[in-house]
Amino acid sequence: MSLFERYLTLWIALAMAGGILLGSLAPGLVSAIAAAEVARVNLVVAVLIWAMVYPMMVAVDPAHIGGALREPKGLAITLAVNWLIKPFTMAALAVLFFETVFAPFIAPEDASQYIAGLILLGAAPCTAMVFVWSQLTKGDANYTLLQVSVNDVVMVFAFAPIVALLLGVTDISVPWETLVLSVVLFVALPLLAGVATRRWLASPARIATFQARVKPWSVIGLIATVVILFGLQGQVILDRPAVIGLIAVPILIQSYGIFALAYAAAWALKVPHRIAAPCALIGTSNFFELAVAVAISLFGLNSGAALATVVGVLVEVPVMLSLVALANRTRARFG
Predicted confidence (pLDDT) per residue in 34-62, tens digit:
778 776 677 887 888 788 778 877 877 77
Q: Is the dihedral of CA 119, 188, 151, 57 positive or negative?
A: negative
The per-residue pLDDT for 156 is 78
pTM of the model: 0.78
The per-residue pLDDT for 81 is 92
The per-residue pLDDT for 15 is 86
294 near 277, Cβ under 8 Å? no
The per-residue pLDDT for 301 is 74
- CB-based contacts of 203, cutoff 8 Å, min separation 6: none
324-331 long-range contacts (CB < 8 A, ≥24 apart) are 324/133, 324/136, 324/137, 324/277, 324/281, 326/259, 327/137, 327/263, 327/273, 327/277, 327/280, 327/281, 328/136, 328/137, 328/138, 331/137, 331/138, 331/273, 331/277
The per-residue pLDDT for 212 is 84
Please report how the helices 288-299 and 141-169 are oriented relative to each other, as an axis angle in degrees rounded to 10. Answer: 20
57 near 185, Cβ under 8 Å? no
**pLDDT beneath 50, residues of the chain:** none
Q: What does the alpha-carbon distance between residue 330 and residue 335 come to, in Å, rounded to a whole number?
A: 10
The per-residue pLDDT for 13 is 80
- CB-based contacts of 328, cutoff 8 Å, min separation 6: 136, 137, 138
Give the percent of the chain with pLDDT over 70: 89
Q: Which amino acid is at 252?
A: L
The per-residue pLDDT for 32 is 86
The per-residue pLDDT for 6 is 67
Q: What does the alpha-carbon distance between residue 326 and residue 7 come to, in Å, rounded to a whole number?
A: 19
